[in-house]
A and B are shown apart, each in its own frame.
Chain A
Amino acid sequence: MSVIEASNLYKNYNGINVLNGVSLTVNEGEVVAVIGPSGSGKSTLLRCLNQLVYIDSGSIKVGGINMVGTDEKGICRYAHKSVLHQIQLKTGLVFQNFHLFPHYNVLKNITDAPVQILKMSKKEAEEKAYALLERMNLSDKAEAYPYQLSGGQAQRVSIARALALSPTVLFFDEPTSALDPELTIEILKVIKNLAKEKMTMVVVTHEMAFARDVADRVIFMDNGSVIEQGAAQELFTNPSSERVKQFLQHFSMEG
């Protein structure tokens, strides 16, 4: 079953087509890596799927529910607010710069949304948060404030915060781009473990080795369009388009 069905997404900013007819399907339990040069529209694509950016035209279905559609006349319509809210809760997003809430400690960062938004009991939310922190190897940091965390720890907290809402799909927007190589490995490990648990994920990344080794499918974007997509191994070893070949030249893929 497909968790995300996006087709023909268009988004224009000041006369520039940031998304130029992008289509994307993500199946349950699948890990999709989105790669490509900066400014190719990868992040915008994620932000559209997560309602941070509204598309100009196209259609998006999440878990079979219409989020937005476009009729024959080209009029783009979003679903009712309550539907959008339900979809919002089913789609988690992990940011490049974490965006933890600085005035809440780690535990509260994770429990506040479940308690406030899902109306979960505080006790249940905290139990869940502690379990997530243990998975993230951060059990000792529950009481810490975000400014006391390293970048890698902050990013793991933000992953736990997203998971606390039990999303059906988790998006990552360059989750390691603000981290040094050591911390990058730390975060990639976490994502790998989530992949093992069959979490459905879409990861925008510049970590080519990670995309090749962890993703089931890789999508290459350039200038607001999907240039090529396919099984990770296939796309990296035998890309069919010149643009992908040229892009991948810059990465040595040993190891």
Chain B
Amino acid sequence: MDFNQLLGPMLEGTFVLLKIFFLTLLFALPLGLLVAFGRMSKRKYISRPVRAYQLIMRGTPLILQLMFVFFAPYYIFGRTYDRFTAAIIAFVINYAAYFAEIYRAGIESIPQGQYEAAKVLGYSKAKTFIRIIIPQVVKRILPPMGNETMTLVKDTALAYTIGVAELFRAATNASSRAFSTMPLIVAGLIYFILNFVVEKLFIQAEKKLDYYK
């Protein structure tokens, strides 16, 4: 089998992988902040359901969540919808739950004195958060966010279970067609190279914020 014939679908798969990756980050990063606020709310009727949602997302396999998000509408309403959309929804609600905990850890690690100093200087709550708290939080949460982001690159492979033609699916298809493990090894290399880049970016971001302690 021609190597080029294998490469085409694998590159397409990589493109789908990247689409899942970026769309998940695009929606899950802000949603996670909202979830973190909900979790930290003093109002029990907000914090409790949010906590329950996080527990479900973190307590059950992502692979099952993918299937649930895709198949549930079929069983409930008798309708199917786009697999790719289902994958994005599942990834976003799952990753938002994890991101929220990282945000929460970051926000709660900022000393009370920072809020007090800002209040005394006349900063509004929003200004305090945007100018004083968030920049310090970002620096502190970079290492765990790097963790999650690298996991996300690999987790995109799970979209395979609901039939999204991402890299892992392309590789297994190619592998069975060609009776070769070569495509799987190539897939492994691609995941590695992507995460190599992700790791580099996070290290660079950390270095950039290294100017203060």
Chain A residues proximal to chain B, CB less than 8 Å:
50-52, 85, 88-89, 91-93, 95, 97, 99-103, 112-113, 116-118, 145-147, 158, 161-162, 165
Contacts and interface: CB of A to CB of B under 8 A. Distances in A.
B58 interface: no
Interface string B117-130: 10111110001000
User: Dominant SS at the B interface?
Assistant: helix
Interface string B135-167: 110010000000000000000000000000000
B131 interface: yes
A146 B116 CA distance: 17
B212 A103 contact: yes
B213 to A, nearest CB: 4
B132 A101 contact: yes
B113 interface: yes
Given A99-B114, A147-B213, A161 B121 contact: yes
B45 interface: no
A145 B211 contact: yes
30 contacts: A51-B119, A52-B116, A52-B120, A85-B122, A88-B119, A88-B120, A88-B122, A91-B120, A92-B120, A93-B120, A95-B113, A95-B117, A97-B113, A99-B111, A99-B117, A101-B114, A102-B212, A103-B135, A103-B136, A103-B212, A113-B122, A116-B123, A116-B131, A117-B123, A117-B127, A118-B122, A146-B212, A158-B117, A161-B121, A162-B120
Contacts of A165: 121-122
B116 A95 contact: yes
A77 B87 CA distance: 53
Contacts of B131: 112, 116
A101 B135 CA distance: 10
Contacts of B116: 52, 95, 99
Nearest to A116: B127
